[in-house]
Amino acid sequence: MTSLILKPGKEKSLWRHHPWIFAGAVERVDGRVRVGDTVTVMSAEGQALGRAAFSPESSIRARMWSFDPAETVDDAFFKRKVAQAVARREALPELRGQDGLRLVHGEADGLPGVVADRYGDTVVLQLGSAGADKWRRAIANALAQVTGCARIFERSDMDVRALEGLPPATGPLLGEAPEEPLTIVENGVQYLVDVVQGHKTGFYLDQRENRRYLGELSEGRDVLNCFCYTGGFSLQALKGGAKSVLSLDSSAEALALAKKNAALNGWADDGRAEWREADVFSALRTLREEGRSFDLVVLDPPKFAPTAGHAEKAARAYKDIALNGLKLLRPGGLLFTYSCSGGIPMDLFRKITAGAAWDAGVEVRLLRQLSAGPDHPVSLNFPEGEYLKGLVGQV
C-alpha cells in the first residue's frame, strides 16, 4: 500500500472533508507512486484518513477520492459516484427535461477534476486533474452506462491541466465526433453548441437560470450584451421582448454562431438585433462617444483571475468595464455584471462594483445576487467551488 504522510497538524482540513492536500502539508510518500495513482492518506500519528489521487507536479499534491480509508477506488467506484451525481439532478424538478445539463461538477460531486456536461445524447467530458486523467476510461464508461448517451466527447484542453503536468486531450471516447454543432433548447430558445471547438464544453450552462431572469426583465428595453459569445443572453432578451439588443464580442467565430442561433429562432431578419465584432473595453468607450445609452447592460467577461494571485489586476479590469457600462445606463436602467474568476470572492466583487458606481457618479441599488444553477452545486466543505458570481443593480 502506498501512503501519503501528512505533516503534524495538517490533517485538520481533512477532518472537515476539504478535498485538497497542498504540497506544503505533505511530509513524505511511502512506496512507489506514479502520476494519478491512488494513495492512502495518513496523519503524522499514523491514522488513515482516506484515499486520494497523487499529483507530483501540482501545488495541490493530492485530491481526495474518499474520506473512508477502506474504500476501494476502482471502476465500480466511479460508476457509483456518477450515478449518485445524476440522481441528485434528476431529483430537482427545475432540471428535469433540460437538453443542456451539467451531470458532474467536480469536488461538489465527490469527483475532483471531473466535469461532465450533457447536450442531448452527447456528454462532453473534461478531466482537469491527474487522478481524473488516470481514470479516463472508467469515468467515460460510467457516464455511458448511467446516462445511456450514444456519444462521449472529451474536451480536456483547459489551461489547468498544465499545472498538473498533463498535455491537452480532446476527441471522441465513445461514438464519433459531431460533424456539426449540436442543438439544444433552453428556456424556449434554440442554441447551437459547438462541443468540438467552443469555449469550455461548448456552452455556458452555468448561466441558464440567469439568462431566464434577464429575459423576464427585457421587455421594451434597449439591451447591451458585452462578451456575448454565441448569444446566450442576447437571444433570451429578444425572446423576452427587448426593443433592441446590441451584442459585442471580439471573436468573429462566436458571433457567426450567434447569428446562426438568431436565425434558428426566426430572428435572422429581426431589426432589433445588432452584432458587433469589437474589443469590449474600447467598444464601451466608443458607444459613449456615439451618444448611445441603454436600459439594460450585461457584462459577462471571461475569467480575469484564475487564482487569488491575479486578483489585483483582475479587479482593475472588472472595475473598468463596470464603470463604463454604468455610464451607458439610463436612469432606472439595470446592470447585470458577472465574474467567473475563482480568485475574486463575492465580497470583493461587490466592492469593485460599488467603486465603479462611485466613480461613475451614480447610485446603484442591488436587486439580486446571482450564482450558477443547481446543476453546478457548491459543497460547503469546499467554498473554492463557488466561482460564478453575479450582481443585478439598478441605477
pLDDT tens digits, one per residue of 270-294: 889 999 999 999 999 999 999 999 9
Per-residue pLDDT tens digits for 24-47: 999 999 999 999 999 999 999 999
What are the grid coordinates assigned to 310, written together? 491575479
**Which positions are catalytic?**
340
Matching residue, cell 448611445:
292
Rounded distance, CA 251 to CA 233, Å? Answer: 16
Mean pLDDT taken over the chain: 94
Mean pLDDT of the region 136-152: 96
Helix, strand, coil % (nearest 5) of the chain? Answer: 35, 30, 35
| Burial per residue of 145-159, b for 16 or more beta-carbon CB atoms within 10 angstroms, e otherwise | ebbebebbbbbbebe
**Whether the predicted pLDDT of 269 surpasses 90:** no
Prediction pTM value = 0.93
At the second CATH level, the architecture of 182-394 is: 3-Layer(aba) Sandwich (3.40)
Domain 75-174 has CATH 3.30.750.80: yes
Delimiting residues of CATH 2.30.130.10 domain(s) in the chain: 3-66
Give the model's pLDDT for residue 309. Answer: 66
- 238: helix, coil or strand? helix
Delimiting residues of CATH 3.30.750.80 domain(s) in the chain: 75-174
Per-residue pLDDT tens digits for 199-237: 999 999 999 999 999 999 999 999 999 999 999 999 999
Q: State the angle between helix axes of 252-264 and 232-239 in degrees (0 to 180), rounded to the nearest 10.
A: 30
Delimiting residues of CATH 3.40.50.150 domain(s) in the chain: 182-394
Give the model's pLDDT for residue 268. Answer: 83
**Ramachandran sector of residue 241 (left: φ over 0; alpha: ψ -120 to 50; beta: rest):** left
Domain 3-66 has CATH 2.30.40.10: no
Distance of CA 394 to the CA centre of its chain: 26
Give the model's pLDDT for residue 308. Answer: 63
Matching residue, cell 490533517:
11
- Model confidence at 305, pLDDT cuts 50, 70, 90, reads low
Mean pLDDT of the region 16-31: 96
Matching residue, cell 427545475:
94
Amino acid at 190: Q
Amino acid at 298: V
Q: Are 273 and 267 in contact (CB under 8 A)?
A: yes
